[in-house]
Structure 1
Amino acid sequence: MIITKIEPQQRKPHRKSIYIDGEFAFGIHDEVLLKFGLRRGDHLTPEKVVEITAYEEFRSGREKALKLLNRKPRTERELRTKLLHTGYSETTCERVLAHLREARLIDDLDYARRYAQESMTRKPMGERMLKQRLRQKGIPEDAIQTVLREMFPSESEELRYALELARRRLERHSNLSGHSLQKRSSDQWQEEQTGLSQHKKRIADYLVRRGFDWETVHRVLEEIFSADRIQKE
């Protein structure tokens, strides 16, 4: 097997068409051409051709992955899924991911930390929901546990997040807060108490949907809606 011609591709001059024994064999990027030092007249074994074309696919997959990362951070699983969907082989995907890990361009633990911090700042959630979100993104279990320990070092931390979220919800969707409950007639008071109970249920349901456990939700309701606090206001 002898390289009989190397010529630039018309639409992609940075790529070269390689002809073996007078026939087109494969196309490669200039990077691959230089890496293997290919020249007209070189003798190639079938194994060498496989090595060259495998490296070309790796180079292409690496370029695709870098473009994806340039748009936004991604987990290893998200990148692998994208590359496989594009048509790259499992072997190429693993080779690309290994290269990116070595270059510190992907790090699932760092991604999980950033995701958790940004999510909890933007819209707090309970430990259960955060764990579910991280699993959905393909974060390894050991990294998930590390992040959960950092974000929820104690029960009081989850309570703090729940209180923050409940107060945001209360301010945005209700005029039923402690300071608004002043002296009313008996009928008005009963009506307000009914509305208050409904509002407490909505807040409770919302917190549960955000991944907080019932014990935390109960403590939040006690903190915000307790009769003593309302009467003091």
Structure 2
Amino acid sequence: MGVITKITKQVKNDERYNLFIDGKYAFSVDEVVLAKFGLRKGLEVDELEISGMQYEDDVKKALNKAIHFLSYRMRTEKEIRDHLKDGELEEGIIDEVIHKLNDMKYINDLEFAQAFTGTQINTSDKGPGWIRGELYRKGVDDPYIEEALESFTFEKQVDKAVVISEKLMKKYRKDSFMIAKQKIEQNLLRKGYSSAVLKTVWESIETEREPDEQWDAIYHQGQKAHRKLSSKYDGYEYEQKMKQTLYRKGFSIEKIERLLEVLKEEE
């Protein structure tokens, strides 16, 4: 048992107060805790009451930390829990903070999932698989994820994947169509698009290249292969190695033989 002999407001934080018991500094509390317990000079307090005050103060500090964390953007419950765990807070305090945030309507994982999905659809080239993975990592439950992804219709997925594919087709113009297609499909799969979307993409975009583009691609790859192989092989062995290399890169035997004739003429 002790008596509160003085209460002073902190200089750097006017929402916190220092409590002195029996003439000595004891601890500090938030103004909310001060009001809740009716703390005042001359009040007698015992160890149990002091423990209760300190617990309430720890909850208030953790709540303030969580609200500050939420001030930058929406967060999932898991993100908030992980953030508070980094401060080495007790699980009971974290649970109490989450309960208070739910009461205050500061946490809504469904709304988070819907907002996150909408942002990715409107501002990124990510597909539903990637979005699903990110939401799962952030702790959103499967039903909420699936409900949020309903806005990312198959048609929207195809439209975005077509734009990506047409852009990449230009980037890979020096590759054979087969290799370019493989690279584009790998890119789309990494971004979270399904094989069904990929199939529809190839039905939607122009896949035939102009003859000049086809020749530029095999000539570019042929020059690279020639520089690598001509110093090691010659004659028949050189031609076979060139054919094997370029065939694996997706070019037809007819075009490869034409290229070999051109390279011979250029020597």
- Of the structure 1 ranges 81-90 and 69-78, higher mean CA displacement relative to structure 2 is found in 81-90
Runs of 4+ with deviation above 4 angstroms: none
Of the three residues 157, 162, 177, the one matched with 1:161 is 157
- The answer on whether the counterparts of 2:166 and 2:205 sit within 8 Å (CA) in structure 1 is no
In the TM superposition, 1:1-233 aligns within 5 A as 1=1, 2-148=3-149, 150-152=150-152, 157-171=153-167, 174=170, 195-225=176-206
| TM-score (normalised: structure 2) | 0.69
Higher alpha-carbon Rg? 2
Displacement of 1:173 after TM fit?
6.0
Moved more, 211-220 or 73-82: 211-220
Q: Deviations over 1:34-75 (max 9, x none)?
A: 222111221223222122111111111111111111112211
Provide the rounded CA distance (Å) in 2 between the counterparts of 1:205 and 1:166.
14
1:185 equivalent in structure 2: none
Aligned AA (1:67): H
Q: CA deviation at 1:151?
A: 2.7
More RCO (CA 8 Å, sep 6+): 1
For residues 15 and 92 of structure 1, the distance between their equivalents in structure 2, rounded to whole angstroms, comes to 19
Secondary structure of the residue that 1:174 maps to in structure 2? helix
Query: Does the CA-based 8 Å contact 2:7-2:17 persist in structure 1?
Result: yes
Kindly indicate whether the alpha-carbon contact (under 8 Å) linking 1:125 and 1:161 is maintained by their aligned counterparts in 2.
no
Whole-Å Cα distance in 1 between the matches of residues 202 and 195 of structure 2? 10
Aligned residues: 210
Partner residue in 2 for 1:183: none
Paired amino acid for 1:114: A
Contact 1:204 1:221 in 2 (8 A): no
- Within 2, Cα distance between the matches of 1:28 and 1:140? 37
Deviation string for 1:77-107 (max 9, x for gaps)?
1111111212332222121111111111121
CA distance in 2, matches of 1:125, 1:52: 48
C-alpha distance in structure 2 between counterparts of 1:38 and 1:76, whole Å: 33
Q: Quick one: distance in 1 between partners of 2:63 and 2:14?
A: 20
Which residue type is aligned with residue 90 of structure 1? E
